[in-house]
Structure 1
Amino acid sequence: MPQITVDHSGAMSPSFDRGAFARALHTLVVEIAAAKPEACKTLFREADFTAFGYEDPAEQRHAIVHVTLGLLAGRTDETKAKLTEAVLELLREHVAGDGFVLHASAEVRDLDPSYRKYEG
C-alpha cells in the first residue's frame, strides 16, 4: 500500500515526465496520507488508443490521464480530497501540453479488506 495506477494516452508520453511525477507523487502520498515511502508503488499504463468526444482520434488533439490511488481504509474524505487535488496539480507540473488539451482526473479509493501483498 499504496497501490497507484496511472493510465494515460500514448500521445502524451513524450510530454510526460513519469519518473519525476512518480517521485513527487510518492512524496505527496507520504505527506498527505501518512504512507511509508517504501510502500509507495506506481504502475504506468500507456494506452495505444484514446478517443475524445466526436473528434477524429488520429488528430491527437486531446490527451487523457487518470490516476487511481488505492489506500488502506481509514483516511478521511478531507484527506482523500486533498490528495486528489494535489495529484492534479502535480500533473499540471509534469505534463507539457505540447499541442494537446490535457484531460486529467484522480481518485482515491479504499483497498478492499481482502487486500494482501507478496514481496519476494
Structure 2
Amino acid sequence: MPQITIDYSDTMENAFDREGFARALHEATVEIAAAKPEACKTQFRPSAYTAFGYEDPGARGHAVVHVTIGLLAGRADETKERLAEAALELLREHVADAAFTLHASAEIRDLDPSYRKFDR
C-alpha cells in the first residue's frame, strides 16, 4: 500500500517524464496520506490504442492519462481529494507540451478489505 497505477496513451510516451512523476507522486502520497515511502509502488501501463469522441484514433490528436491510487481504508475524503489534486498538478508538471490534447484524471480509492500482499 499504496497501490498506484498510471494508465496512459502511448501517444504521450516521449512527453511523459514517468520517473520524475513517480518520485514526486510518492513524495506527495507520503506527505498527504501518511504512507511510508517504501510502501509506494507505481506501475505504468501504456495503451497503444486510445479512442476519443468521434476522432479517428489514427489521428492521435488526444492523449488520456488516468492515475489510480489505492489506499488502505480510513483516510478522510478531504485527504483523498487533496491527493487527487496533487496528482493532477504533478501531471501538469511532468507531461511536456506536445502535439496532442491531454485529458488527465485521478481517483483515490480504498483498497478492498480482501487486499493482501507479500514481499520476497
TM-score normalised by structure 1 residue count: 0.99
Q: Is residue 61 of structure 1 aligned with residue 61 of structure 2?
A: yes
Q: Is residue 74 of structure 1 aligned with residue 74 of structure 2?
A: yes
The aligned counterpart of 1:2 is 2
Provide the rounded CA distance (Å) in 2 between the counterparts of 1:118 and 1:89.
32
Amino acid of the structure 2 residue aligned with 1:3? Q
Q: What are structure 2's unaligned runs of at least 5 residues?
A: none
The aligned counterpart of 1:92 is 92
Provide the rounded CA distance (Å) in 1 between the counterparts of 2:23 and 2:13.
17
- Deviation per CA, 1:49-92, whole angstroms, max 9, x where unpaired? 00100011111110000000000001000000000001000000
Amino acid of the structure 2 residue aligned with 1:103? H
How do 1:1-120 residues align onto structure 2 when only pairs under 5 Å count? 1-120=1-120
What is the aligned length?
120
Provide the rounded CA distance (Å) in 1 between the counterparts of 2:41 and 2:68.
12
Provide the rounded CA distance (Å) in 2 between the counterparts of 1:71 and 1:17.
24
Q: What are structure 1's unaligned runs of at least 5 residues?
A: none
Identity of aligned residues (%): 70
- Deviation per CA, 1:23-46, whole angstroms, max 9, x where unpaired? 000000000000000000000000
Provide the rounded CA distance (Å) in 1 between the counterparts of 2:43 and 2:49.
18
Measure how far apart 1:97 and its partner are.
Answer: 2.5
Provide the rounded CA distance (Å) in 2 between the counterparts of 1:64 and 1:95.
11
Provide the rounded CA distance (Å) in 1 between the counterparts of 2:114 and 2:52.
35
Measure how far apart 1:47 and its partner are.
Answer: 0.3
| 1:27 alignment partner, SS class | helix
Amino acid of the structure 1 residue aligned with 2:89? E
